[in-house]
Amino acid sequence: MEFKSVSIYVTPDEDLFILSRGISRKWGGAIIDIERYRFLEKSYTDDMLETCVLEAFEDWNSIEPADELKPTAIEKILKIKGYLKAVKRMSYINVEWDSDEGYKIIPTKNNGKKGFVHLEEEAISIGGTVRDGNLAHAIRTAIIKSK
């Protein structure tokens, strides 16, 4: 089975940071955000959202994640020291794809000092084909569930 994952950080202004991810050899195969990202301002369209997410999937594992876990990719992108400080007041969505099940969009809850907790029971599966805005609709739904 093949697997890929993308992180979406949603700012309080509803802008999006879409980060590609990769597999860390040093950390035993942990999946970690890498410093390849796209930024969408609040007024993004469904087409823009889907294009950016699919491009982020293309960048899956394209660079080795940093051996050091700190600072994280989002800290470096935002130029804010400390992960919890960087993501304070943000929402987070995990978008996964695997060759067996297709796309799964997982909302999370920001638990402050404990970070983001995946709401697996709220996950949205759309199968293996992106069409008619189904990926964008699922992501927008997950954003609402993550607030």
pLDDT single digits (tens) 12-34 = 999 999 999 999 988 888 999 99
Task: Please say whether the beta carbons of 133 and 147 come within 8 A.
Answer: no
Q: How confident is the model at residue 118 (pLDDT cuts 50, 70, 90)?
A: very high
Q: Can you tell me the mean pLDDT for 68-92? A: 93
Q: Which residues pair with 95 in a beta bridge?
A: 6, 105
Other Cβ atoms closer than 10 A to 24: 18
Whether 86 shows a pLDDT value over 80: the answer reads: yes
Vertex 77, ends 72 and 81: CA angle to 5°?
Answer: 55
Tokens 């293996």 sit on residue: 128
Average pLDDT over residues 130-141: 97
115: tokens are: 């970070």
| β-pair type (16-24, 91-98) | unpaired
Q: For the chain, what's the residue count?
A: 147
Give the separation between CA 20 and CA 10, rounded to whole angstroms. 15
